[in-house]
Structure 1
Amino acid sequence: MVTKAELEAEVADLRRQLAEQTEAREKASAPSPHDTMADKIAENIDGWSSQLEEALTELEDLPHKRPILFALGIFTLGYLLGRSR
């Protein structure tokens, strides 16, 4: 039969192992400030590039989808540029 002292020693050993594992996970999952900043910049650049691609695609499709709106926009832009001189 197992004694109380042996059980307490085993529980203490298990607690120590659990604390070591928790500490190792925290160290592995905690990103450095430089990695975090670089990741944020990369995500922002990816977001901006995808938004720019969407805007350019919509601008390319505008003359075909809404020709009157496109013509009015070009006319207005030309008028404003002509008046600025």
Structure 2
Amino acid sequence: MVTKAELEAEVAELRRQLAQQTKAEKAEPKEDHSDSLIDTIENWSDQMDDVLTELGELPHKKPILFALGVFALGYLVGRSR
């Protein structure tokens, strides 16, 4: 069975570790997340440009596939009403 003194010693040790961790977090400089956000937005924008370019070229590269896709989309929209 654990004694009261052992529990108090363990609580004191945990408090000491928590205090050290808090000091270490305060000493670390805060990261600026705005640069990573801008990179993410630019990456997303580039990917959207690529998708729109591919969709614009699809009727010229694969006209039968494009026609079937338009037909299927029209059919689904017509059935939804």
Structure 1 residues 1-85: aligned runs within 5 Å = 32-33=30-31, 35=32, 37-85=33-81
Q: How far 1:39 sits from its partner (Å)?
A: 1.1
Distance of aligned partners of 1:77 and 1:31 in 2 relative to their CA distance in 1, 3 Å threshold = farther
CA distance in 2 between counterparts of 1:31 and 1:57 reads 42
CA distance in 2 between counterparts of 1:58 and 1:31 reads 43
Q: Which structure's CA Rg is the greater one?
A: 1
Corresponding position of 1:3: none
CA distance in 1 between counterparts of 2:54 and 2:76 reads 23
Percentage of identical aligned residues: 57
TM-score computed with the length of structure 2 as normaliser: 0.62
Any stretches of 5+ residues in structure 1 without a counterpart? Answer: 1-29
TM-score computed with the length of structure 1 as normaliser: 0.59
Any runs of at least 4 consecutive aligned residues in structure 1 with deviations exceeding 6 A, and if so which? none
Number of positions where the alignment pairs a residue of Structure 1 with one of Structure 2? 54
User: Between Structure 1 and Structure 2, which shows a larger proportion of helix residues?
Assistant: 1
CA distance in 2 between counterparts of 1:84 and 1:39 reads 44
